[in-house]
């Protein structure tokens, strides 16, 4: 298991957090996604290494950005 944390910008409500959770959950290898709306932190747990580019693409598909 691997865990990575990302800061996602633009989330303002529970619906935003749910959208990010749904999109990131669909990335191959992702086992769990936890979103802390107040801080913008998204913690991704994978069965093995998960490509950060895939996480970024999923967050962008949900309509948000990962802070650089």
**Domain annotation covers residue 46:** yes
**Domain annotation covers residue 57:** yes
- pTM for the model: 0.92
Low-confidence ranges of the chain (pLDDT < 70): 68
Range of the domain at 25: 15-66
| Per-residue confidence (pLDDT) for residue 68, from 0 to 100 | 66
| Per-residue confidence (pLDDT) for residue 67, from 0 to 100 | 86
Please give, one letter per residue, the 3-state secondary structure of 17-62: HHHHHHHHHCCCCEEEEEEECCCCEEEEEECCCCCHHHHHHHHHHC
**Domain annotation covers residue 21:** yes
**Domain annotation covers residue 53:** yes
Domain containing residue 28: CATH number: 3.30.70.100
Neighbours of 1 (CB within 10 A): 8
Domain count along the chain: 1
| Per-residue confidence (pLDDT) for residue 32, from 0 to 100 | 97
**Domain annotation covers residue 22:** yes
């Amino acid at each position: 298991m691997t865990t990575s944390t990302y800061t996602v910008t633009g989330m303002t409500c529970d619906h935003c957090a749910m959208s990010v959770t749904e999109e990131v959950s669909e990335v191959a290898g992702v086992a769990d996604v936890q979103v802390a709306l107040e801080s913008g932190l998204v913690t991704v747990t994978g069965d093995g290494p998960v490509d950060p580019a895939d996480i970024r693409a999923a967050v962008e598909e949900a309509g948000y950005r990962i802070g650089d």
